[in-house]
Chain A
């Protein structure tokens, strides 16, 4: 019986577990979402901070006016999901780099996960479900298209 000894220079093939390579997809996601986020975030900053009166012009009527338009609803929804998953995954990388005690690491990772899930859920509900013309509110605070202002 002879034992086969691999040539010393043959590449080491680690036993690979089959299944989805999540770290690879995370790496791809960071880059793909980054490219889309540049357009979404720069557009968001330009419309809200530079055009019109800048931050001075932002109030309930301004936001309600934007979210009356499906274009801005989809824009903000995409920005919310892409940014939080990108940011949350980036924070995960950083925690994995610096948290040396396993318990600390688990707590921090759980905190990131919970805050990302809660903020995405909250933001998504608000963009689509808030009322731009709540009854009983002072008319001068509401957008011009509300019935009280017609």
Chain B
């Protein structure tokens, strides 16, 4: 990278932006994407649950469309998004309110990733059992 007159490093090819965020930026991107995804899921989820007021058969017909491997994988993605958003939400709160929060924001990002892996390692095998039981049905 060329050094400019101010003695600072400038990226050779600024592709659209000069900002090269690291854990801080990527955690923000993921928090934003997961927040939007959960919001749109919630819009649909209240509507499908509302079918209980139409008729028992109507509710069962809608919920049965969730009981297949494709939706089963979708539930893994949804749970993954919620779990990341939740744990990273705690990280955001700690950065804002804990006196050492900003100092440890990067460490906390890897703690979030670690807790996410542990939670998903618990959920995914259980969900695969559910998916297989739906297929066998």
Contacts and interface: CB of A to CB of B under 8 A. Distances in A.
B134 interface: yes
B10 interface: no
A87 B55 contact: no
B60 A38 contact: no
Given A49-B130, A91-B39, 7 more contacts: A53-B130, A54-B129, A80-B46, A87-B39, A94-B35, A123-B50, A141-B60
A59 B50 contact: no
A41 B79 CA distance: 10
**Interface of chain A: mostly helix, strand, loop or mixed:** helix
Interface residues of B, number: 41
A126 B67 CA distance: 23
Interface in A33-61: 34-35, 37-38, 41-42, 45, 49-50, 53-56, 58-61
B96 interface: yes
**Interface of chain B: mostly helix, strand, loop or mixed:** helix
Interface in A16-43: 31, 34-35, 37-38, 41-42
A46 to B, nearest CB: 9
Contact of A130 (B43, B53, B133): B53
9 contacts: A42-B86, A49-B126, A50-B126, A55-B75, A63-B49, A122-B46, A129-B53, A131-B53, A138-B57
Interface of A: 31, 34-35, 37-38, 41-42, 45, 49-50, 53-56, 58-61, 63-64, 67, 80, 83-84, 87-88, 90-91, 94, 115, 119, 122-123, 125-126, 129-131, 134, 137-138, 141-142
B36 interface: yes
B38 A87 contact: yes
Contacts of A64: 52, 56
